[in-house]
Structures are given as C-alpha cells and as structure tokens.
Amino acid sequence: MAELVTLTRPREGVAVATMTNPAIANFGSWDAIGQLADALVAAREGGARVTVLASGVPGAWFQHAWLTDLRNTFLGQPTTGDGGAWFRCLHELNQTSVVSIAAISGDTSGGGCELGWACDLRIAEEQVLFGQPEVGIGVGTGIGGTSRLRHLIGRTATAEMVLLGFPVTARRVHELEQLVKATISETGATSKKEMGAVIKAVQAKAAGRADGKTISGLVGKLLRNSSGEPELLSAATTL
C-alpha cells in the first residue's frame, strides 16, 4: 500500500498530517482517507494539542470523494479501502483535546471541503476555490457540509454552493466579514440587541454584494464573538 498521508511533528504538541496523492490530484480515495484517519488518531494519541491538515500536491488541498471508489461502493465492487474512514476523520476532528487547523493551500471540493468545515480553524490562500459540486451528479453533501457550512457563511451562501454547485473564493467571504466587523466598530455595537442598526448600516455598504440573510447571519455571529466567544474565522484570508 502506497504511503499517501505522512505525519510529522515540527514541534512539541504540534502534528502535521499531509496528504500527497498526485496521481488523482488528492481526490479522496478510501485508501487515502483511511490513512488520514489513522494519522489523526496517531497525532492525538501521541500527545498533539494542535493538528494541521495539509496537502503535498500543488494547487489542490483535499478534493471530493474519488468517484471510482464512490461508484464501486454503490455497485458492491472492490474499492481501495473502507468508506467509513470519512466518518472516522470527522470523529477525530470533533475531539476537544486537539485543535484542528485546515491549512488550505489549493482548491478543495466536496468531502474535502467538508473535512475543512469540520476543523476548528481554516486558513486559506487567496486563490483557493471552495466547492460543493455534489448536485452535479445528483447527490447531496455526505458528511455534514450543509449543516457545518451554514454556521460558517450563512444559510443563503450555503444554499448557493450546495444547490448550484458553483465554487466561491476565500476572498469573497473574508471581505464580507471584514465589512461587517468595520461596521460593528463604527456603530459601537456590543451585543445582539443592536443587530438591527448594524444590519441596516451593512446593507447600505454591501449593496449588490450580499443578501440580507447572509448579512444578518454574519452580524449575529460577529456580535456574539465580540462579547467574548471564540471567532470561527481568523487569519489574513480565512474561511
């Protein structure tokens, strides 16, 4: 079996799980995802307090499920591994003893995106595209994309991604969040009781760039975070 995921420890308490499967551009073969799940377990059991998920393939982070394995699963034919590994990954990413960071250096889609949504933090390069293209083959998101993504970017933007299958940029979400943060600062709002005034001010600035539901969701989240709760989005360009 080829080694598709490596686990390194650049410093005490920090582990980096790197997927490198250039033959299929880091699409999620069951074998690769199984190795990723094993690496996450090894990182936690080895005492990691922070685990970074990275890619060794230029231009691609973690992509959607490899269609050959997906098709063969439905047809009862041999696959490269156990498809249940996707859920083992989610189980590990939900462990509260380890902070998970998705270091997104290339395009990501489908199940790959969903692993990113499940991480505690996401740091993305500006050119990265995020996509949930499952609708194109007549299926829905499989491992929590709809629910987790809605909490990150709002209901309407999530619907655009999931129902239309179109990718969005890290910059689009980041710029909208920065606009909301600036408006909160300008208005001096400190609690969700002042949401109405903030939403009205943001709508005037964001005409044509975002719908009301997306703005409302971001304002509510950021006002909540301003009262002391940890931010979901951080770093220079994040999603």
Q: Does residue 146 lie within any of the structural domains?
A: no
Please, are residues 25 and 63 in contact by the beta-carbon 8 Å criterion?
yes
Do residues 58 and 129 share a domain?
yes
| 53, 103 contact by CB (below 8 A) | yes
Task: Say how far apart CA 27 and CA 33 lie, in whole Å.
Answer: 9
Are residues 48 and 115 both part of a single domain? Answer: yes
Residue 208 burial (10 A CB sphere; 0-12, 13-18, 19+): exposed
Q: Which domain holds residue 220?
A: 172-226
* 10 within some domain: yes
For residue 211, pLDDT over 70 is answered with no
Total of domains in the chain: 2
Per-residue pLDDT of 108-152, as tens digits, reads: 999 999 999 999 999 999 889 998 888 887 777 878 777 888 777
pLDDT classification of 156: cutoffs 50, 70, 90: confident
User: What mean pLDDT, rounded, does the chain reach?
Assistant: 83
Select the more confidently predicted residue: 156 or 171: 171
pLDDT bin (cut points 50, 70, 90) of residue 194 is confident
Model confidence pTM above 0.85: no
Residue 38 has phi, psi (to 5 degrees) of -65, -40
The pLDDT value given to residue 215: 63
Residue 184: per-residue pLDDT: 75
Average pLDDT of the residues in 194-219: 65
At residue 227, the pLDDT reads: 47
Q: Assess if residue 182 is contained within a domain.
A: yes
Task: Examine the domain organization and report whether 131 and 176 are in the same domain.
Answer: no
Distance CA 72, CA 69 (A): 5
101 and 209 in one domain? no
